[in-house]
Structure 1
Amino acid sequence: MSTSIVQAREERTRWFRDARFGMFIHWGLYAIPARGEWVRGIERMSAEQYTAYFDEFDPADYDPVSWAKAAKQAGMKYAVLTAKHHDGFCLFDSQLTNFTSVHTRAGRDLVKEFVEAFRAEGLRVGLYYSLIDWHHEDYPAYGDAYHPMRDNEAFQRTEEQFERYLEYMHGQVRELLTGYGKLDIMWFDFSYGDMSGEKWRATELVRMIRELQPHIVIDNRLERNNEHQSSIYTEHPAEFSGDFASPEQIIPPSGVTDNQGAPIPWEACITLNNNWGYAPADRAHKSAKTVIRKLVECVSKNGNLLLNIGPDAKGRIPQWSLDVLEQVGDWLRLNGDSIYGCGQAKRSKPDWGRYTQKGNKLYAHLFEQEIGAILLQNLEGKIKHARLLADGSELVLSRPWNAAMFPDDAFVNFASPTVFTYALPDERDTVLELELIEETDQPAG
């Protein structure tokens, strides 16, 4: 069983491992208080207090067509929207609750508009669904680790109530999988404590998902990291282990592998500031340079980057976020061949940056300026052509007079004399395309 699970995972994630770059969108009622998506839980708001945001939710400027165009311009290949976050508010027209966007002043099925707009731009679509629900009256409250009423004894829950919640949760997942056409990703969040694995009736849930949409890619958050002997991190994953690992706000130092060292599909989900939801007071904005280099780092380790944006209460993506996305897209239009369909090169990380690879094309990502010619370790006699990827211009391969002590290393530079030091054409990341004469090394993931 587990061997077939891994084989099916490899087939399902083929497009995912080629795409490499996606947009995460955290949006909901929490955009109104604008203190992050966990605001109800952190501030222990009552249902009555939080309902005030439901009553005033009216994103008059919500235009998913413009969102989709921004994602495509940024070079993203897929997008994931929070259909329901921990607060239980649904951006879709659920028949199982009235706590949805359709019953607000918006009066709209916002998920429906999202999937239609992003598909129209040729982007794959995914939906985030929180396993946690602070609005549902049957979800564990008193004594829970995160529920707003975790310290209020009046909110005791029984096992019978939790079973009713699971019927609700499974029912909403079915609604998403049957009401919006083909979805590419089902992004669950998250397991904790004993709320994990079969506590969610996870095998039953995944079997329903596979029956309805067998092609869909699922993250690994129905289980806790390294929780089971049969997890995504083992060579014998469970059915509910998912198709890809999902490190959050961190890029693993060596990528992600199972306990036998075999690569696992993975995706680092990263915010553009320090919050997932809209938080205008958070001005710790990541630069386009940082995003570009972190995308390259993910790909160099066989991973994807899922970059989050948090629209405001009116439905607008903040202008500073759009500016960063535009700059990243400008770089990708010139250098995308070094990202899409690429993976880890079977070479050690160079001092000046990173490598990515696709077939016999080795891409050198220069983050730091070298003194004199650029040293390409152990590549002497192995390079057929060297070009600047951004414009296709030929680069000069040479054996500088001062390189006699490095007989196995190749040297390249932007002009002659090759012993001179030249400024990097793009200080964010200058990419060299090295076509190798003979290369048996293939990207590992």
Structure 2
Amino acid sequence: MLACGSKKHNKTVSIKSEKAQVFEPNWESIKKNYKDPEWFNKQKFGIFIHWGAYSVPAFGSEWYPRQMYMDTATFTAQLNFEKIGPNPVYTHHKKTWGDQKTFGYKDFIPMFKGEKFNAAEWIDLFKKAGAKYVIPVADHHDGFAMYKSHTTRWNSVDMGPKRDVLGELFKEGRNQGLIMGASSHYAFNWSFYNKKDHFDTTDPQYADLYSTKGKNLKEPVSKEFKQRWWDRTVDLIDNYQPDILWFDFYLDIPDYADMRPKIAAYFYNKGIEWGKEVVINDKNFDHEAFPEGTVIYDLERGKLPGIRKLPWQTDTSIGKNSWSYVSNWESKTANQLIDDLVDIVSKNGNLLLNVGPKADGTIPEDQKEILLQIGNWLSINGDAIYDTKYWKTFGEGPTEVNKGHHSEGDNKDFTGQDIRFTQKGNKLYAIMMAWPTNNSVHIKSVKSSEDKVSNVKMLGSNANLKWSQDTNGLIVEMPTQKPGDYAFVLELTL
């Protein structure tokens, strides 16, 4: 068990301004001066990383630290009652690790050693996967910082791995030409842990990990905790200069209304000071946290049914059932994820794909293999993805996509009749989600009366394709050999 540390971290980070700031901490100023950076929309594919002390029990999900304290009922992320009775994670923890009063979440931190963590190996894998940017989780709901924090003792340099995980990844990623971001989920730390006297969560010596919130579930976020959130986020910004700052839900609730324009203005002004365009990704759930036109809109495990002219992003995990590594991790297939990438890009979005390393710092082989399969596909078909723009229609075919957070489980698999479009210069890319069953495809959206085609080729194939175009569309006969295993790209010269 961990003893109470010194109070050297309890300092307040303040803004010092010696000259006029472009962005003032109000939405009018931010809307006036902010523009989505073009570089973000061009990248299309990034990697998310959920790795922390919650990887040690490897059970349930990254919400283990919350659910291990839910002994009589489970509550949702929005603090609404979900079901009566002990949560399975609570029961598992008590049976496997002992009573939550004597073995709390804090006691996993010394066990989180990350002894096989190698930033260079991770970044090399992400490069081979075709990713252009990487966003490690810097602060999750649990309150343990994965970097050298100057505002909390609960960080990966002073405890656990005794390494600056974020710093090592930033250094290696930037050395290899990747754009580096950091995610903050810390706003929900206020309400993450269940507070009861028979848990260690009410012990005042651990309040800087479990938050100072009392036992009232609906207690508003305190002024003191909002200052703690501010200090922690500014510390992260100042010391790591992320290109992307990704915010999770709960920052969207009314309690944080005064903090949102303040942090946006601070970060965007810092970008100017650093001489680079920076961007915020935000996941709104129930509230309009950041007004449209001030950040990049992000959807968790969901997509959009059509084109959004402003850039947007889907964040999802390779894992069907968790973001962090768990012993019963279930991976999606490379085929599913490539289809998702194609569908998202055709609608002007980016895909941020999560990996869940083990507690020792290794990325499981099945996740590695999926990333390499995606990378192999992108090495052949990347022209249809990177630096492309949406076309006049995102696609055609029978499969519709549901809209909204956590909607991916409701979507059907794509078929050989489903086609998605992207464009770059005079090239139009028609991406078939599967090989046509009759070895030819009729693309109805590409009509001679509107878009005259002069040449057709399949990326990854040297075959001379037979094709014809009229006012009813474009018909292309497939080559005798497939150039790959997944979505197939026709490059049309207009």
Global fold match (TM > 0.5): yes
1:177–1:213: 8 Å Cα contact kept in structure 2? no
User: C-alpha displacement at 1:6, in angstroms?
Assistant: 5.3
**What is the SS of the residue equivalent to 1:103?**
coil
1:318-346: CA deviations, max 9, x gaps?
Answer: 11100000011011001100000113221
**Pairing of 1:109-188 with structure 2 (within 5 A):** 109-132=164-187, 134=189, 139=190, 144=191, 146-149=192-195, 155-156=214-215, 162-180=222-240, 182-188=241-247
**Pairing of 1:7-18 with structure 2 (within 5 A):** 8-10=33-35, 12-18=36-42
Change (3 A) 1:340 1:3: farther
Counterpart for residue 396 of structure 1 = 466
Distance 1:71 1:372 in 2: 34
User: C-alpha displacement at 1:83, in angstroms?
Assistant: 0.8
1:75 aligns with 2:130: yes
Q: Which moved more, 1:338-347 or 1:348-357?
A: 348-357
**Pairing of 1:41-440 with structure 2 (within 5 A):** 41-44=66-69, 49-132=104-187, 134=189, 139=190, 144=191, 146-149=192-195, 155-156=214-215, 162-180=222-240, 182-191=241-250, 194-195=253-254, 197-198=256-257, 201-214=259-272, 215-221=277-283, 224-225=285-286, 227=288, 231-232=291-292, 242-256=294-308, 263-273=309-319, 274-283=321-330, 285-347=331-393, 349-351=395-397, 352=417, 353-368=419-434, 369-371=436-438, 373-377=440-444, 378-380=446-448, 382-391=452-461, 393-398=463-468, 407-414=471-478, 424-436=482-494
1:107-130: CA deviations, max 9, x gaps?
Answer: 211111110011111100000112
Distance 1:277 1:423 in 2: 39
1:386-413: CA deviations, max 9, x gaps?
Answer: 11122454422236xxxxxx64322222
Q: Which moved more, 1:423-432 or 1:26-35?
A: 423-432
Distance 1:192 1:90 in 2: 17
1:13–1:243: 8 Å Cα contact kept in structure 2? no
Change (3 A) 1:107 1:372: closer
1:195-214: CA deviations, max 9, x gaps?
Answer: 55415x22222222222224
User: C-alpha displacement at 1:13, in angstroms?
Assistant: 2.5
Distance 1:190 1:51 in 2: 23
Distance 1:30 1:379 in 2: 54
**What is the SS of the residue equivalent to 1:245?**
strand
1:21 aligns with 2:45: yes
Change (3 A) 1:384 1:100: same
**What is the SS of the residue equivalent to 1:247?**
strand
2:312–2:348: 8 Å Cα contact kept in structure 1? yes
Report the AA paired with residue 387 of structure 1: K
User: C-alpha displacement at 1:44, in angstroms?
Assistant: 1.3
Distance 1:324 1:7 in 2: 42
Distance 1:185 1:172 in 2: 16
User: C-alpha displacement at 1:85, in angstroms?
Assistant: 0.3
Report the AA paired with residue 341 of structure 2: L
User: C-alpha displacement at 1:355, in angstroms?
Assistant: 1.4
**What is the SS of the residue equivalent to 2:448?**
coil
Change (3 A) 1:21 1:163: same
5+ residue gaps, structure 1, are: 257-262, 400-405, 416-421, 437-445
Counterpart for residue 15 of structure 2 = none
Distance 1:306 1:348 in 2: 20
**What is the SS of the residue equivalent to 1:206?**
helix
Distance 2:378 2:37 in 1: 22
Change (3 A) 1:210 1:425: closer
Q: Percent identity?
A: 29
Distance 1:196 1:163 in 2: 9
Change (3 A) 1:304 1:106: same
Report the AA paired with residue 354 of structure 1: R
Distance 1:156 1:307 in 2: 36
Give the TM-score of the pair, scaled to structure 2.
0.73
Distance 1:20 1:172 in 2: 29
Distance 1:365 1:150 in 2: 54
Counterpart for residue 418 of structure 1 = none
Q: How many pairs align?
A: 395
User: C-alpha displacement at 1:34, in angstroms?
Assistant: 0.9
Change (3 A) 1:125 1:248: same
Report the AA paired with residue 210 of structure 1: Y
Distance 1:159 1:148 in 2: 12
Report the AA paired with residue 442 of structure 2: L
Please tell me the root mean square deviation across aligned C-alpha atoms, in Å. 2.8
User: C-alpha displacement at 1:244, in angstroms?
Assistant: 0.8
